[in-house]
Amino acid sequence: MTTFSAVVTTGIYCRPGCGAKPLAENVRTFELAAEAEAAGFRACLRCRPYRVAGPVGADAPDLVCRAVQLIIAGALDTGTEAALGQRLAVSPRHLRRLFHDHLGVTPDQLARSRRAHFARRLLDDSDLTVADVAFASGFGSLRQFNRDMKLVFRASPVELRNRRRKADRLAADGGLVLRLPFAPPLHWEALSTFLAERAVPGVESVRDGVYRRTVSLDGEAGVIEVSRGGDDHLLLTAHMPFWEGLIHIVDRVGRMFGVDADTAPAETALADDPVLGPLLRERPGLRVPGAWGHFEVAVEAVLSQRSARDRVRRQLAALVTTAGQPVPGLEHGLTHLFPSAETLARADLSALPAATARTLQGFAGAVAEDASLLDPGVSLADFTAALTALPGIEQSTAQQIALRLGHPDAFPAADRTLCTTLLANGILDDSAQLAAAWHPWRAFAASHLIAAGVPALAA
């Protein structure tokens, strides 16, 4: 977890490693940049703390973590704290109290800080106009953008753009390039291997160390590319039809690769475990892999219930060809957008085994009717209970979906690769019972077990 230092005599906060050397009695520490800003401090011009990852601590209560996920997804861009509290089944007053106690900020202050920091990075790294930066960062108007940037950074967007350093600007042959900062280390090889093993043909591709996929933005097709950048950042190249709401594209990519994840508590808790300890040391910085599309990973998990990986890949290719929207003219094997739940619920699935087709079509219909079935903002117990109530959805499948959607304690006990790793460690007993010792970091444990199951690719 990054700790920010704020100097009460200057009103400035810094990231670790800044060259400033204030007197210790004048320093206050904050775990979040937003917390320092809420206390009245502004970002240091030398170390620029908005350019480093600032993950929310994994030891925060589950409800706070779920609320943060929803805020990152844009719940407060146009919504209110009251609506967010209703979605989480708590009062807005209680939600604000929880945020204040555990994060030192209100939900609105956290959302404002995220938008402002993302906008500041766009002003530094890109040549987008100030207006484009405003709407790409999730601001509702230029007036709100100017007001919040002055509040957070004590300067207007134009003044901030004029302060950028020459080395900041990222240029690309087409597309917009952005840095995705993370707290090192991050095990890129294991993450990209996981995604390559589960890549949807025609929709995703992992080649030469670059992850690529098609994306849909308000019905228009785009392409994103993610690669290793430096020791503390990944590089995202976005080819989009327009830039409005770009912050949510970047946040979704960030969740896929865990750039905001705080792995320290899980690593500390599991470091001495006889099974997981060696795996953690073998792959330092491995994050729990996330997902671009909730429905997409759910379909892959449903197909994996009764089929091996190669067969699942062929079935996904058939679904994409049959029901996906074609996107002509792309390279690297990208040809389609993944079909929506509404489309798949009506599609001809006769190419699949009859039982699989019934389960998948019923699942797609249920999600089309109630998208909240895949809402990561609910508790793990409620999430898995809702999915397993659908015909044909097994408990381990629901857990696999929950893991990819960010539930930290999800554990897909029947995953074939995970079971292979346990068998290789001489563990023949029920893996779900064994995993009780890994609570509440079972998703982190499962990710290491799965990565270890494909050593030739993940190492």
Q: What is the pLDDT of residues 105-126, one digit of tens each?
A: 999 999 999 999 999 999 998 9
**Rounded distance between C-alpha atoms, residue 384 and residue 402, angstroms:** 7
Examine the domain organization and report whether 145 and 214 are in the same domain.
no
159 and 195 housed in the same domain: no
Domain boundary among 126, 144, 168: 168
Active site residue 18: no
Radius of gyration of the chain, Cα coordinates, nearest whole angstrom: 22
Q: Does one domain contain both 378 and 238? A: yes
- CA torsion 117-296-387-62 (nearest 10°) is -20
Q: What is the domain-level CATH number for residue 354? A: 3.30.310.20
Which residue in this structure is represented by tokens 């910085």? 285
Using the predicted structure, report yes or no on whether residue 290 has a pLDDT greater than 80.
yes
pTM, rounded to two decimals: 0.85
Residue where a domain terminates, one of 117, 143, 168: 168
Domain count of the fold of the chain: 3
Alpha helices, H only, 370-441: 380-388, 395-404, 416-424, 431-434
Among candidate residues 14, 44, 47, 65, the one labeled active-site is 14
Q: Which of 168, 187, 202 is the last residue of a domain?
A: 168
In a domain, 418, yes or no: yes
Residues 335 and 308 in one domain: yes
Give pLDDT tens digits for 137-173: 999 899 999 999 999 999 999 999 998 887 787 755 5
My answer on whether 282 and 406 are in the same domain is yes
Phi-psi region of 209 (alpha: psi -120 to 50; beta: other; left: phi over 0): left
Secondary-structure percent of the chain, ordered helix, strand, coil, rounded to 5 = 50, 10, 40
Place of tokens 């109630």: 370
Q: For position 458, what pLDDT does the model report?
A: 38
Compute φ and ψ for 144, nearest 5 degrees. Answer: -65, -40
- 195-237 per-position pLDDT tens digit: 999 999 999 999 999 999 999 988 889 999 999 998 999 999 9
Q: Of 250, 281, 23, whose CA–CA distance to 126 is shortest?
A: 250
- d(C-alpha 159, C-alpha 344), whole Å: 49
Based on the fold, state whether residues 282 and 203 are members of the same structural domain.
yes
Give CA torsion, residues 208, 211, 217, 219, to 10 deg. Answer: 70
415 annotated active-site: yes
- Taking residues 84-100, what's their average pLDDT? 92
Residue 173 belongs to a domain = no
Do 356 and 409 reside in the same domain of the chain? yes
Residues 423 and 327 both lie in one domain: yes
In the set 262, 415, 429, 430, the catalytic residue is: 415
Residue 56 is assigned to a structural domain of this protein:
no
Residue ranges making up the domain that contains 147:
62-168
CATH of the domain at 152: 1.10.10.60
Check: CB of residue 206 under 8 Å from CB of residue 199: yes
57 in any annotated domain:
no
Q: Kindly state whether residues 152 and 194 are assigned to the same domain.
A: no
pLDDT at 245 over 60: yes
Distances (CA, A) of 63 to 70, 171, 265, 314, 400: 11, 40, 18, 38, 20
Query: pLDDT for 370-426, tens place per residue?
Result: 988 998 878 899 999 999 999 999 999 999 999 999 999 999 988 888 888 888 877
Residues 377 and 353 occupy one common structural domain? yes
For residues 39 and 81, state if they share a domain: no
More confident residue, 89 or 435: 89
